[in-house]
């Protein structure tokens, strides 16, 4: 933690306080990036997420002396962060992923459609509730069993991430087919449509997303304990511009879920540049 961050957390520089500060930093700082991803997932704004993570650390520091270790330090921080985010969301609607709005889109005749500002579905409340029920039931069917999920440090998880990155950078739909599960799901913000099933996912990615080799560049990272990548897309001037972050759910049989957050601000929030020259 920097001196500025210490000041923001209300920490003093008195010698007698240093041991507690150092211990707090050592135990909590390694979770900052995943807490940032967690807060972003809840509030949908990179700037707000940064502020909420800072508030999380402030609250954690203030109550650190009373932390008894009944839960892991990570779980304790997540609880604080979730409460901070829920408080911030009270005056406004909660942001949800496409799978939280309706069932998967099975059509193959058009690209995914974005949600217009102040618009959700342009339909009735009853239709939204019905779609939610179908979507949740479908997700329950597709959710991997806990035993199938790979730990972030598992070499197989990194191999799947590397394969996904290579597929995009080479515009290779065949390589994508190798890393996705048959029942894989694909969703992205701020689009209202999401896809279920490898064949459908591959069609959408091949037809509307992959482009030509060199259009995409991805750099491996982690988010919320999942293998992830910051994403760059080549613009008309040939510059690779920040595009967002993709988060994967790896299992023993392949990638079960792909979530793409289209938000260039996330790339710099994760500590990466907003553009790459090559």
Q: Note whether 157 and 260 are same-domain residues.
A: yes
Does this model's pTM top 0.85? My answer is no
Helix (H) or strand (E) holding 54: helix 46-63
Q: Examine the fold and report which residue of 48, 66, 89 is the final residue of a domain before the chain moves on.
A: 89
113 and 82: one domain?
Answer: no
Per-residue confidence (pLDDT) for residue 3, from 0 to 100: 38
Alpha helices in 100-219 (DSSP H): 125-142, 155-170, 173-179, 198-208
Are 215 and 127 members of one domain?
Answer: yes
Q: In the prediction, which pLDDT does 34 show?
A: 86
Domain boundary among 59, 89, 119: 89
Q: How far apart are alpha carbons 35 and 52 in whole angstroms?
A: 9
The 10s digit of each residue's pLDDT in 222-246 is: 887 789 999 999 999 999 999 999 9
Q: Which residues contact 277 (CB under 8 A, 6 or more apart)?
A: 239, 240
| Claim to verify: residue 145 and residue 262 sit in the same structural domain | yes
Query: pLDDT by residue (tens digit) across 45-75?
Result: 788 888 999 999 999 999 888 887 777 888 8
Domain co-membership, 168 together with 268: yes
What is the pLDDT at residue 165?
A: 98
Span 207-224, average pLDDT: 93
| CATH number of the domain bearing residue 180 | 3.10.450.50
Both 134 and 257 in a single domain? yes
Domain range enclosing 68: 3-89
Q: Which residues contact 28 (CB under 8 A, 6 or more apart)?
A: 57, 60, 73, 77
Q: How confident is the model at residue 117 (pLDDT cuts 50, 70, 90)?
A: very low
pLDDT bracket for residue 14 (50, 70, 90): very low
Sign of the CA dihedral with 50 first, then 43, 223, and 106 last: negative
What are 139-157's pLDDT values in tens digits? 555 566 665 888 878 999 9
Residue 31: which CATH number?
Answer: 1.10.1740.10
49 and 145 share a domain? no
Q: Are residues 103 and 174 in the same domain?
A: yes
Q: Give yes or no: residues 42 and 146 share one domain.
A: no
> What's residue 191's pLDDT?
81
The rounded distance, in Å, linking the Cα atoms of 88 and 173 is 41
Any bridge partners for residue 242, and if so which?
A: 232
Indicate the residue among 63, 89, 115 that finishes a domain: 89
Place of tokens 């990570």: 74
Domain count, the chain: 2
* Co-location of 174 and 254 in the same domain: yes
């Amino acid at each position: 933690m920097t001196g500025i961050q210490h000041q923001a957390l209300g920490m003093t520089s008195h010698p007698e306080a240093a041991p507690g500060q150092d211990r707090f930093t050592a135990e909590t700082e390694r979770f900052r990036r995943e807490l940032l991803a967690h807060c972003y997932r809840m509030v949908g704004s990179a700037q707000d997420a940064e502020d909420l993570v800072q508030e999380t650390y402030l609250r954690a520091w203030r109550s650190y002396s009373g932390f008894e270790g009944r839960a892991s330090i990570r779980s304790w921080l997540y609880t604080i962060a979730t409460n901070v985010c829920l408080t911030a969301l009270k005056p406004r609607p909660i942001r949800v992923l496409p799978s939280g709005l309706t069932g998967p889109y099975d059509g193959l005749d058009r690209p995914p459609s974005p949600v217009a500002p102040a618009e959700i579905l342009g339909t009735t409340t009853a239709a939204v509730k019905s779609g939610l029920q179908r979507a949740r039931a479908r997700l329950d069917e597709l959710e991997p069993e806990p035993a199938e999920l790979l730990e972030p440090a598992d070499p197989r998880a990194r191999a799947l991430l590397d394969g996904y990155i290579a597929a995009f950078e080479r515009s290779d739909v065949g390589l994508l087919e190798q890393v996705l599960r048959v029942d894989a799901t694909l969703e992205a913000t701020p689009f209202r449509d999401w896809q279920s099933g490898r064949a459908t996912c591959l069609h959408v990615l091949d037809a509307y997303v992959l482009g030509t080799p060199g259009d995409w560049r991805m750099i491996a990272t982690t988010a919320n304990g999942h293998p992830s990548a910051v994403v760059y897309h080549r613009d008309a001037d040939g510059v690779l511009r920040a595009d967002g972050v993709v988060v994967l759910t790896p299992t023993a049989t392949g990638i079960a879920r792909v979530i793409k957050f289209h938000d260039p601000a996330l790339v710099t929030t994760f500590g990466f540049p907003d553009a790459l020259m090559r």
